[in-house]
Structure 1
Amino acid sequence: MPWEVTSVMERRIKFVLQAILKETNFSQLCLSFGISRSAGYRWLWRYTETGSVGSLMDRSRRPHHSPKRVSAEIEQRVLDERRRYHWGARKLRELLLRQGLDVKTATINRILKRHGMITEKQRCYTASRRFERTNPNELWQMDFKGEFAMTLGKCYPLTIVDDHSRFGLGIFALTHPQGKLVQRCLIETFDRYGLPEAMLMDHGAPWWSTTNGYGLTTLSVWLIKQNIRLLWSGIGHPQTQGKVERFHRTLKEDLRHLPKPETLHDWQKAFDQFRHRYNHIRPHEALAMDVPADHYTSSRRSYSTELAPWEYPEGAIIKRLNPQGCLYYKGRYYFVCEALGHEWI
């Protein structure tokens, strides 16, 4: 018998016909078809009960009654929240708990799969190890989130995130990654939340320069004058800025489900709405499903436009650099750093 080249349905029909003829011992017949006696009796019983070969088709194993299945109303609520926020099961469970509905994570996953709202590509896995500062404002991370095309020009989003709480301190829609524009955004952020102890950034403009041996720019010098310690991520290692990079990924995923803004004003509106959701609504797994706003408090260090002069050891020779950042000493000019022009060093 060419068993391998026949379909399952054909094999079952042949088995039943031969079993009815009783020309072969039933046990031997089952053995020749490679099935157990119980399976053979099941197929024979189905056919004799109905008299139709259609009864030999596989039947659904779905139970006739599922007493523990959630109601249609709760299932619809899960689908509505999924369409609204596009979150996974763990975050949706936390959101439903706030609304007084206790739906298990596995149940939410089954609902999403049943309605084709989750794929293998969308699955995320919890980080095995995390690093964070002990308190808010010990470290802020700052970076640009690439660029977004507009009807006229491009939008460059500047993002600032608190390392401890993941709180989004600001997302600013800029027309260009210029130092003066970034400084204006930082002043607004400092006025609202105070000063951090340190800031972490990458080796990019406008806070890093390759024209001097210190990497200083006018912006970074201004930050140092605010008594903020500057830290730099490893070159080619964006994971050093893991908090802001993860913030960017969440921002990108959120914006993917919204109509594309076409003006700078529209982009800023979209960023403001996202920041509110991120800080006050979206559960964060690294915060035990709390929201960042629950873990953030403003800094006690207030921003001031009156900057104290730098202090040097007693007896040090102090000279003022010219506008080009050069030091005149003993009849000669020495280049120090253009970002330190007019400064006393």
Structure 2
Amino acid sequence: MVEDGWPISEVAARFQVSWPTVKRWVDRYLAGEPMQDRSSRPRTSPNKTSKSVTKRCVSLRMRLREGPVQLAARLDIAPSTVHRILTTARLNRLSYVDRATGEPIRRYEHPHPGSLVHVDVKKLGNIPDGGGWRYVGRRQGERNRAATPGKPKSKWHNPKLGYAFVHTVIDDHSRVAYTEVHDDETAVTAVGVLHRAVEWFAERGVTIQRVLSDNGGAYRSHLWRDTCEALSITPKRTRPYRPQTNGKVERFHRTMADGWAYARCYTSEQERRDALPDWLHQYNHHRPHTACGNQPPFSRLINVPGQYS
């Protein structure tokens, strides 16, 4: 165009580019500017996510291990923005999430609350006074364990702190969870939890019809069978060595472990147990759940007293 006087339309057709591109290059040539390729990135991005929000998003991801929907609710930004931040930071996938079962995922959901509830027990090691080894290190954790009073001794003189057994009853349709912490997983304890869970759900307008459990000793006992019969509940059990069938309560326990059990440094086992009701309220009433349309599980309970007042 400059040397031979070609029209801009012919040059654009010759090189298969738009005429604004030809005009832009010609203007640069006439102005004596360098002809190297330039980045198309804008000089300023007024709507770019601030660095403080990005840092907080990454920090919450590493500390709470929550997904984009949950983090978006905490940060008041779009889930797609959270996913972009996590992808840039290479945190969009957690290694422990990948479960190579070799089988396709089969999703199901019962039609209304109470149609089916899942029950299971999560076993957690008790925390010694002063903090456990996950946060204070192995050496200090052993000292704290040895200094914690009221624990039995093993034959190797290694102090045992015992275990906390978290009994959970979770509704299949709404994902609303009821949880208690006990020192054992016997049939008597499991039956007591079931009685209190039935009353707790009934106060919220939910009548339990079926209960699904694994093949643990408590759930195979005659006491469990007779209790379900007295409560007009149909007991069901999963296929042996097939925990995927009870996957909703298993997944809840993993969320609970990340959000409560190992979320921060507890200085004692009692402090951790005292923190459970607040976390459970956050889960049921406020935490967005992807299976509930990014709404909290309690939004699926339609007969809660005072819900529409």
* Matched letter for residue 121 of structure 2: F
Does residue 162 in structure 1 map to residue 162 in structure 2? Answer: no
Q: 1:131 aligns with which of 104, 108, 112?
A: 108
Which residue of the partner structure matches residue 93 of structure 1?
Answer: 72
Residues 217 and 121 (structure 1), Cα distance of their counterparts in 2 relative to 1, 3 Å cut:
same
Shift of 1:160: 0.7
Cα shift readout 1:135-188 (whole Å, capped 9, x = no counterpart): 00111110111332344321111111001111112x211111112222222222
Does residue 188 in structure 1 map to residue 188 in structure 2? Answer: no
Cα shift readout 1:226-277 (whole Å, capped 9, x = no counterpart): 11111111111111112111111211222332224633x3343233233112
Question: Is the CA contact 1:193–1:298 (under 8 Å) kept in the aligned structure 2?
Answer: no
Question: Is the CA contact 1:137–1:196 (under 8 Å) kept in the aligned structure 2?
Answer: yes
SS at match of 1:247: helix
Taking structure 2 as the reference length, what is the TM-score of the superposition? 0.63
Which residue of the partner structure matches residue 283 of structure 2?
Answer: 278
Residues 193 and 298 (structure 1), Cα distance of their counterparts in 2 relative to 1, 3 Å cut:
farther
Residues 157 and 75 (structure 1), Cα distance of their counterparts in 2 relative to 1, 3 Å cut:
same
Does residue 256 in structure 1 map to residue 268 in structure 2? Answer: no
* Matched letter for residue 143 of structure 1: D
Which residue of the partner structure matches residue 79 of structure 2?
Answer: 105
Q: Which runs of 5+ in 1 are unaligned?
A: 1-48, 50-58, 209-215, 301-345
Q: Which runs of 5+ in 2 are unaligned?
A: 1-32, 129-160
* Matched letter for residue 197 of structure 1: Q
Residues 66 and 124 (structure 1), Cα distance of their counterparts in 2 relative to 1, 3 Å cut:
farther
Which has the higher relative contact order, 1 or 2, with Cα contacts under 8 A spaced 6 or more apart?
A: 2
* Matched letter for residue 174 of structure 2: S
* Matched letter for residue 198 of structure 1: R
Question: Is the CA contact 2:113–2:172 (under 8 Å) kept in the aligned structure 1?
Answer: yes
Shift of 1:221: 0.9
Which residue of the partner structure matches residue 311 of structure 1?
Answer: none
SS at match of 1:164: coil
Q: 1:143 aligns with which of 107, 112, 120?
A: 120
Residues 106 and 189 (structure 1), Cα distance of their counterparts in 2 relative to 1, 3 Å cut:
closer
Shift of 1:218: 1.4
Distance in 2 of aligned mates of 1:128 and 1:241? 13
Distance in 2 of aligned mates of 1:225 and 1:257? 39
Shift of 1:91: 2.5
Taking structure 1 as the reference length, what is the TM-score of the superposition? 0.57
Question: Is the CA contact 1:95–1:283 (under 8 Å) kept in the aligned structure 2?
Answer: no
Shift of 1:76: 5.6
Question: Is the CA contact 2:209–2:233 (under 8 Å) kept in the aligned structure 1?
Answer: yes
Residues 72 and 150 (structure 1), Cα distance of their counterparts in 2 relative to 1, 3 Å cut:
closer
* Matched letter for residue 216 of structure 2: G
1:291-302 aligned at under 5 Å gives the runs 291-296=296-301
SS at match of 2:239: coil
Shift of 1:73: 5.5
Residues 192 and 105 (structure 1), Cα distance of their counterparts in 2 relative to 1, 3 Å cut:
closer
Question: Is the CA contact 1:144–1:158 (under 8 Å) kept in the aligned structure 2?
Answer: yes
* Matched letter for residue 191 of structure 1: E
1:1-345 aligned at under 5 Å gives the runs 64-72=43-51, 74-75=53-54, 78=57, 82=61, 85-96=64-75, 101=76, 103-114=77-88, 121=95, 129-151=106-128, 152-169=161-178, 171-194=179-202, 195-208=207-220, 216-254=221-259, 255-260=261-266, 262-263=268-269, 265-296=270-301
Residues 162 and 120 (structure 1), Cα distance of their counterparts in 2 relative to 1, 3 Å cut:
closer
Shift of 1:295: 0.7
* Matched letter for residue 70 of structure 1: T
* Matched letter for residue 172 of structure 1: E
Percent sequence identity over aligned pairs: 26
Count of aligned pairs between the two proteins = 231
Shift of 1:204: 0.7
Question: Is the CA contact 1:173–1:267 (under 8 Å) kept in the aligned structure 2?
Answer: no
Distance in 2 of aligned mates of 1:150 and 1:156? 13
Aligned Cα root-mean-square deviation (Å):
3.5
Distance in 2 of aligned mates of 1:140 and 1:299? 18
Cα shift readout 1:58-99 (whole Å, capped 9, x = no counterpart): x99965433441234654664575477442223222444xxx
Distance in 2 of aligned mates of 1:292 and 1:252? 18
Question: Is the CA contact 2:181–2:273 (under 8 Å) kept in the aligned structure 1?
Answer: yes
